[in-house]
Amino acid sequence: MSGSEKVLVALVGHPNCGKTALFNALTGLRQKVANYPGVTVERVESDLASDLGHPLRVLDLPGAYSLNPQSEDEKITHDVLLDGMGTDARPGVLIVVLDATNLRLHLPIALEVRELGYPICVALNMIDLAEAAGMQLNVKYLEEALGCRVIPTSATRKYGLGPLVEAAAKLASSEFDASKTQWTPSTREQIILRRKSVEDILRRTVVVPGHPSLFTTRVDRFLLHPFLGPLALLATVFLVFQAVFTLGAIPTDWIDGVISSFASWTRSQLSSGMLSDLLVDGIISGVGAVLVFLPQILILFASLLILEDSGYMARAAFLMDRIMGRVGLSGRSVLPLVSGFACAIPAIIGSRSIQSPAQRLATILITPVTTCSARLPVYTLLIAAFIPNTVVAGLFGLQGFVLTLLYILGAVSAFVFAGLLKAFGLTGAGGYFLLELPTYRLPSMRTVLRGLLDCARAFIVRAGTLILSIMVLLWAVSTFPRPPEGATQPSISYSLAGKLGNIVLPVLEPIGFNWQISVAMIPGFAAREVLVSALGTVYAVESENSDDGASLTEKIKTDWSLPTALSLLAWYVFAPQCLATFAVMQREIRSLRLTLLSFTVLLVVAWLAAFITYQVASKLL
């Protein structure tokens, strides 16, 4: 049976009720899950896992508080249920996912969806947490009240999946014509009536209400405190970046040693010539230069995943709401912006969960300034080369402190840009912010490890495909044309890259960049971390003796001045060096004018920041 013949079973429910966790459990896929609302902003579908024994396809939809869409992601759910988003692929069965610990909030969507006429069943999810909180639910009565099967489930523990699939499969065999589905926005009277029904249902369903999580209440008293809360947030950020340096140093040195040994071994195995130069100077030096930063990137991702899964990220959004309001944003923008620490692309897509179009636009436009993980190799390389590894006040490392400052500078810049957008009338005033604060929980080891595995795989695949290919091309343009007979300068000076570097140099010289940086900067526009690889290749080709044992860190330490390094750091806080980010920005805001404007403004600001940094540092240092 082909995928198109299988009945589509859609998961519908509030944000953060565990739809994606259930989807992953049913399909065996690994879509991103986290303990805060608004993680899923796209529709994703896949076949039901074969061991569950039914030929069904499962569709995960973004969370929605009602069928009347208030944001782009809720609109997806609305469109899929009401017109299949213009395709034939409308669901044949709906599984309404409810958070068993918070039925008062979640039941209204079940009643609203029921009115559409779809065959439905209910997954009473997080039943394990409800039981742990001492709740007792009368599932039989809930079934009677909703007029459909209600199956207690725990997606994370894979509990109740068999009965849920059986119920969905049974519904799938019934006759249903989705094209006859009708929907009109609920009137005030309908909403009030639904609320009354919810209260009636709750009275007989919740036998014992259970007790709220005392742990969450107590911890929130401290973490959401108006004064202590922001301090705890700052301390958390600081600890993460200290960990990036202190914990990352040992495996980074180890990988660096392995790559150097591999380069020497490769050169010793090949007769000297162009193939040897390409493999060692182009590929191993270039790709190796960025691969050594894998441990640091994994530590950053692990920290983000733990904070997301514990429920703290939603608190960070809550804490930032008041500050964000001053620049026309709200705490809602914080969640996608924080995910921008990993990568700007999912952050831009994630902004679909923001209800206000003006706030969404502002969030997208400032996202490229948030410090994505691709900047980490550049920052780490420069900090390791130029900032002494000393302990300040006997408490923290100076290198980690400088890294934290760079991240804070990125966040402050994003805040200033948002303020400017508001001042120029491009975005509106900050709106209200409602956020369901999830209960704290111990981060799931499986979620964190899977996230890390995906991150490591994506990083290595990227290094082994795109970055490797760019390095091969960079080596070629750094090697050809060959120097003339009797040439006195290094051969790279006569190459195409050398000439290109000299053409760009007049623009970059006032900000302290040498021609090696100028050459590496050109491919660096494909992606930020490519600069590090490109520097590895350019210095290897230039030295024409890359097995001298000197690492890239040592080479730039002897070749660059401190003002040049600081200038490059300032450049990288703002520079729009990721074309994919702007491609996604254009797709999401559908305005080429604004996308180009954003790119140009960031480029000019990057140059000015680097210029001021270089000139001031040259005078002072």
Partner 1 sequence: MTGSDWLIVPIVAVAAFVVLRKLLVGQSKKECGGCSSCSRKKTTAGH
Shortest distance, position 46 Cβ to partner 1, whole Å = 8
One-letter identity of residue 120: I
Shortest distance, position 590 Cβ to partner 1, whole Å = 7
Q: Does 473 bind partner 1 (CB under 8 A)?
A: yes
| Binding residue (CB under 8 A) for partner 1 from 174, 465, 545, 591 | 465
Q: Does 587 bind partner 1 (CB under 8 A)?
A: yes
Q: Does 349 bind partner 1 (CB under 8 A)?
A: yes
Exposed/middle/buried for residue 101 (C-beta within 10 Å: 0-12, 13-18, 19+): buried
Please give the helix or strand (H or E) that residue 220 lies within, else none: helix 214-223
User: Measured between alpha carbons, how far is 297 from 455 in angstroms, rounded to an integer?
Assistant: 9
The C-alpha R_g of the chain, in whole angstroms, comes to: 27
Q: Which residues between 414 and 433 bind partner 1 (CB under 8 A)? A: none
**Main-chain phi, psi angles of 521, to 5 degrees:** -65, -30
The string over 248-274, giving b where at least 16 C-beta atoms fall within 10 Å of a residue's C-beta and e elsewhere, is bbeebeebbeebbeebbeebeeeeeee
Shortest distance, position 583 Cβ to partner 1, whole Å = 6
User: Measured between alpha carbons, how far is 96 from 111 in angstroms, rounded to an integer?
Assistant: 10
Cis? peptide before 481, omega within 30° of 0: yes
Binding piece for partner 1, criterion CB under 8 A, among 226-234, 285-293, 344-352, 490-498: 344-352
Q: Which residues between 248 and 307 bind partner 1 (CB under 8 A)? A: 270-271, 273-275, 278
Going across the sheet that includes 56-60, the strands are: 44-47, 56-60, 7-13, 93-99, 120-125, 150-152
Whether 8 contacts 57, CB under 8 Å: yes
| Binding residue (CB under 8 A) for partner 1 from 136, 173, 217, 469 | 469
Q: Does 326 bind partner 1 (CB under 8 A)?
A: no
Q: Does 558 bind partner 1 (CB under 8 A)?
A: no
| Binding residue (CB under 8 A) for partner 1 from 163, 325, 346, 490 | 346
One-letter identity of residue 537: T
Shortest distance, position 247 Cβ to partner 1, whole Å = 28
Whether 313 contacts 335, CB under 8 Å: yes
Q: Please state, as a whole number, how many other Cβ atoms lie within 10 Å of the Cβ of residue 384.
A: 19
Whether 495 contacts 546, CB under 8 Å: no
Q: Which residues between 66 and 95 bind partner 1 (CB under 8 A)? A: 75-76, 79, 85, 87, 89
Q: Residues in contact with partner 1, total (CB under 8 A)?
A: 35
Comparing CB distances to partner 1, the nearer of 85 and 550 is 85
| Binding residue (CB under 8 A) for partner 1 from 287, 319, 584, 585 | 584
Shortest distance, position 591 Cβ to partner 1, whole Å = 13
- x-marked contacts with partner 1 along 564-583 as a string, rule CB under 8 A: ----------------x--x
Shortest distance, position 254 Cβ to partner 1, whole Å = 29
Smallest CA-to-CA distance from 315 within 300, 335, 294, 296 is with 335
Shortest distance, position 364 Cβ to partner 1, whole Å = 15
Comparing CB distances to partner 1, the nearer of 175 and 485 is 485
Residues that bind partner 1 (CB under 8 A): 31, 42-46, 75-76, 79, 85, 87, 89, 270-271, 273-275, 278, 345-346, 349, 465-466, 468-470, 472-473, 476, 526, 580, 583-584, 587, 590
